[in-house]
Structures are given as structure tokens and as C-alpha cells.
Structure 1
Amino acid sequence: MRKFALALAAAVLALFPATSFGGASIKVVAAENFYADIAQQIGGPEVEVASILNNSNQDPHDFEASPSTARQVADAELVVYSGADYDPWMKSLLAASPSDRRKIIVAANLVHRVSGDNPHIWYDPQTMPAVAAALAAEFSSRNPAHKADYEARLAAFETSLDPMLRKIAEMKRKHAGDAVTATEPVYGYMIDALGYDMRNQSFQLAVMNDTEPSASDLAAFQDDLKNRKVKALIYNNQVTDDMTERLKELAQQADIPIVGVTETLPANMTYQSWMMDELTRLDKALSGPAS
């Protein structure tokens, strides 16, 4: 189905070649809505931003490119996507509409992540500052009259991340060495930043790669929950199946807090508020019931 959709998109582009948007705004297309959010924060009124993956209630791995998506990419002056095999369909869309005027920012390249690494790089606190800086540089190159505006917004964005960084440092001290587990490694980079012990990683990799976890990995995960060897279960709300639902039930039966996370930016949130919301809920889960 995905190959058919991409082929259809390419056919549409062949019939209707890419055209310029017109107007003064820099036209940006982001594969994921959190990159679109950063692009808007840095670009301000001088940019027009669209994103492809937007729904935090749907599995992003089920995405299928359509002719309208292909048109967005074809007409963009700047495209931002994650890379490291998270959104491989973007390469096909870009190849279907080659353009000398279009620039591409691949977030994974900025933080030296490659195929085979955990692709959920936006949970690495180093990623978004690098993406924001790359956006500011590209916007300044395209619209030098507003370079000072882009640089000021970049500085404001970097400052706005300070509460998140302070929260990470606080939680690292507060819950040092705590063991947690997860149904998938979506939150892995943030757990690394927090310095916690992430268990059941081979199980998580199997789920992420859409393969069957081994019987021993599943048994170890179940044992961690039944015997309360972990203080929280981090649950990917967008990628679920019968097995992950059963693990969620086991955590509930063992009174282990469940912290839901998402792969795309929830509605009515910024990247900053999204990160702080999940950190705050994890902190509460690890702190236990209020006395």
C-alpha cells in the first residue's frame, strides 16, 4: 500500500510540476509536527510552516504518503525531517520532486545519529537546540533582512529550554539509579539524560522493529512487573497491541505507575510544554503516593 501511494504521488508530480508558492514567506514542510513547532518559533511571521505527521492519537508508523503530501513537499523551500530511518518515506517524496531551490535539514545528521540507532532523537535534549540553530541559519540565509529577528528568536528558544534542563537535573538527583521499563524505546534518550536504569531493552527493540520479542524477553518483562522490580512503566500511547496492553494490565495489577508518552506533539502544546508535561508526570510516578 505504501509503495502504491508513493507511486501515485510521483505520478501526480509528473503531471503537475512543482511551482513556487509566491509571496515573501519562506515555505517550510516538516515531516513531524514538533519540528514544525520549532520552525514556527524560530521563523515567526516570516515563515509559513506545514507538518505531515500531526495526530498524537495515531500510530505514526502507519503513515502512507498521498498526492497532497507529495504536493506539499514539492512546493517547499525548506524541508525538515528526523532521519535515522524514522521517516524513510520522506526520501521517496523528495526524490519524486528534485529541486535546486529546496534545502533539507535532517535532524539525525545534526546530532550524528545513523541507521540502527534509536530513531526517537527528539527526546535527546541536544537535538532541538541543534535543529533550531540550523533553522535560524537557513532562514537568515534566505531572508537576511530578518537575520536579527531569527537570531533573537533562537536565543529566546534556547532560554525557554532552561526549565526542562533544570527539571532533568533535579530528577537525576532525586531518583538516581531508579529502574524503569518501557514498551518501546521511544523515551530512551530522555531516560539516558536522566541517568535511570532502563530495563527490558531487547524487548523494546523487538517491538520497535515490528518483530516478535523472544519468550525469555517477554518473561523477564513480566517478572519485572509482577515483582515490582521497576518503579514505572513508560507506555507509548501511539504504538499498542495486545501484548503491550497485557503488560500495561500487569503494571496496573502490581500498582506500578504508568507514564504515557507520544511520538508526535499533542494538540495545543509546544515542544517545551510537551517535554515538561511528560517529565513532570514521570517525576510524580517515581516519587510515589503523596504522604
Structure 2
Amino acid sequence: MQLSDMNPSGADTYRANAEAFSDSIEELEDRAADIRAESAGVEVAQTEPLTEYLLDELGLIDIAPVEFTRAVEHGTDPSAAVTARFSDLLEDGEASVLVYNSTRESPTTQIMRDLAEENNIPVVAVAESIPAGMDYLEWMHSVLDDFESVLSGV
């Protein structure tokens, strides 16, 4: 550990903190595996590619049109045809959950959120950064709580 080399008197503290953090990450991984065991294969749609790795870890399949999510990610509006394809996923109930970026809302993404709510599709709002008053681990547990909650009803 580089910190231990730079500050040998703190080596025990650094080691203990690293072990505690590693244990906490394993707990998150275990929770994700439990959710995956119950919900693998559920189709979801996200408004932009914010949670790709998490969806993969949870075994969820993102069926949102890539053209839609990439346009939103780049701050542009998707074409009308692509927006219609996304709308159809929500209106037809193909997407069981809408994963919504709560940090970067736009009129287009708000329409998708409203459409999901009108069609009784649960919404998981995920922020791009750690919310005030939380640390990383608390944030990740709260995101998993939200997924666990909505997926239990799917």
C-alpha cells in the first residue's frame, strides 16, 4: 500500500479501513446477486446509459433504444421516431421498470417518466452523483433498495 509506505505509522489504520471497505463492497455484491437471482431477465428501459453496469450486475435487460439514450446523454433530443419507439415500450408494458436519471431531466425524459407513471410502470430514479448527506456505500444501498422494491412487484 502506497499510503503505508508514505506514512508507516498509519499502516494499521489504512489496512483496517481497506478491509472494512472491501467487506462493504462484498455486501453490495451479495445484495446485487440476491436481486439477480430473483429478477434476472426482467426488461427495463433507462432514459440514458447511466446504470448500464448496475443493470448488468442485476441481470436486467435494457431494452431502451440506444439512439434515445445516447441522444439524451449528449444533451440532444432523440428523433421523433426513436422517441415513439421508447414510448411504445412503456405504453405496451414491454419495459417493466423505467430507470430515470434524476440529475439531468429534460422535457423528453420527463414525458417518458410521466408515460411510465400513467401506465403503472415503476420508476427508479438514480442520480449521477452521491446525494448530499450520504456516502458512497449508503448511496449504493439506497439504489439497490429502490430496485429491490420495484422488482418485487414485477
TM-score, normalising length from structure 1?
0.50
Partners of 1:255 and 1:163 in 2: how far apart?
31
Equivalence for 2:102? 237
Q: Which amino acid aligns with 2:54?
A: M
Where 1:255 maps in the other structure, the secondary structure is coil
Equivalence for 1:164? 28
> Residue 155 of structure 1: CA displacement?
0.6
Question: Does 2:140 align with 1:275?
Answer: yes
Report which of the two has the higher share of helix. Answer: 2
Match of 1:151 among 15, 35, 39: 15
> Residue 138 of structure 1: CA displacement?
3.7
Where 1:203 maps in the other structure, the secondary structure is helix
Alignment of 1:75-224 (within 5 A): 137-200=1-64, 201-224=66-89
Deviation >4 Å, runs of 4+? none
Unaligned 5+ residue runs, structure 2?
A: none
> Residue 264 of structure 1: CA displacement?
1.2
Q: Which amino acid aligns with 1:222?
A: S
The answer to whether the Cα contact below 8 Å between 2:77 and 2:108 also exists between their aligned partners in 1 is no
Which whole-Å deviations, capped at 9, do the CAs of 1:42-97 have from their partners, x for residues lacking one?
Answer: xxxxxxxxxxxxxxxxxxxxxxxxxxxxxxxxxxxxxxxxxxxxxxxxxxxxxxxx
Unaligned 5+ residue runs, structure 1?
A: 1-136
Which whole-Å deviations, capped at 9, do the CAs of 1:11-69 have from their partners, x for residues lacking one?
Answer: xxxxxxxxxxxxxxxxxxxxxxxxxxxxxxxxxxxxxxxxxxxxxxxxxxxxxxxxxxx
Question: Does 2:120 align with 1:255?
Answer: yes
Partners of 2:80 and 2:4 in 1: how far apart?
54
Equivalence for 2:93? 228
Equivalence for 1:288? 153
Q: Which amino acid aligns with 1:186?
A: L
Partners of 1:169 and 1:192 in 2: how far apart?
11
Give the superposed CA RMSD.
Answer: 1.4
Provide the identity percentage: 33
> Residue 139 of structure 1: CA displacement?
2.3
Greater Rg over alpha carbons, structure: 1
Answer 1 or 2: higher relative contact order, Cα 8 Å, separation at least 6.
Answer: 2
Partners of 1:193 and 1:214 in 2: how far apart?
30
